[in-house]
Amino acid sequence: MSNEQEPRRQFLRRMLAAVPTASLATGAAFSQSACKPTAPPAAAPKPYQPDYFTADEWRFLEAAVDRLIPADRLGPGAREAGVPEFIDRQMETPWGYGKLWYMQGPFHVSEAPELGYQMNLAPRELYRHGIKACDDWCRAHHGGKSFAELTTADQDALLGEMDHGKTHFDTVAAATFFSFLLANTKEGFFADPLYGGNKAMAGWKTIGFPGARADFADWLDQPGAKYPYGPVSIDGSRG
């Protein structure tokens, strides 16, 4: 051992002796932790299981929202963005039970849009009756197939007829049911991911919406400038 190395080793010994025991223990713990094998990646989350909709209703919902906002080169569609989950969650809210509306009647079925919603069905009931009516209509006119079993072309055609009131269901107005479905699909696609839809903030990214960021003061005097940061959810997660 050279004479240059010996003074350095003596210095290190003195420094080590001066380190508190607690610090040594902590350092050992960190060292042992660093030597442990890396934990395996977390398992992928299980597919969402609906609380309100039945299996047949769920298949209808997934197929319908997929046609209303389909995936394309710009990004995921409503199905991939979790819109069915968003709608299912809404069925268990006061809105889903119609508790936010006056529901005591009298009820007069009317096609006049200025009169607003006139049925005695809460949204969850409207979905249940509407999905069954739509599937029954499909089976009667498409060889026993449900809506989810139709080709995408036939699905698009039927949704268009419902939108324009050209299809008539027995238990619920097709146009009324379609308006609920379309409105909730758009809400689920653009609502905060906290509510189940807009997964990975796909809807916000499509339109360049920055989400629930708290401060935009630096950009108020930059009209036309592209905002450079990704969206943020209410819960703080980032897209």
The answer to whether residue 36 is domain-embedded is no
The answer to whether residue 80 is domain-embedded is yes
Nearest to 186 by CA among 77, 88, 96, 95: 77
The answer to whether residue 120 is domain-embedded is yes
pTM as predicted: 0.77
The answer to whether residue 49 is domain-embedded is no
| CA separation for the pair 231, 238 (Å, rounded) | 6
Whether the pLDDT of residue 15 is over 60: the answer is no
| CA separation for the pair 191, 197 (Å, rounded) | 7
The answer to whether residue 39 is domain-embedded is no
Classify the C-alpha dihedral 121-91-169-132 as positive or negative: negative
The answer to whether residue 145 is domain-embedded is yes
Looking at per-residue pLDDT, the higher value among 27 and 51 belongs to: 51
DSSP H helix total and E strand total for the chain: 8, 0
Residue-wise pLDDT tens digits, 136-157: 999 999 999 999 999 999 999 9
The reported pLDDT for the residue numbered 49 is 93
Average pLDDT, the chain: 82
Looking at per-residue pLDDT, the higher value among 208 and 36 belongs to: 208
The answer to whether residue 229 is domain-embedded is no
Residue-wise pLDDT tens digits, 159-213: 999 999 899 998 899 999 999 999 999 999 999 999 999 999 999 999 888 888 8
The answer to whether residue 189 is domain-embedded is yes
The reported pLDDT for the residue numbered 114 is 76
The reported pLDDT for the residue numbered 171 is 87
* CA distance between the termini of the chain: 58
Give me the percent of the chain exceeding a pLDDT of 90: 54
| CA separation for the pair 58, 234 (Å, rounded) | 28
In which domain, by residue range, is 92 found? 55-207
The reported pLDDT for the residue numbered 200 is 93
**Structural domains in the chain (count):** 1
Looking at per-residue pLDDT, the higher value among 7 and 51 belongs to: 51
| Span of 28-32, 54-58, 201-205 with lowest mean pLDDT | 28-32
The reported pLDDT for the residue numbered 34 is 41
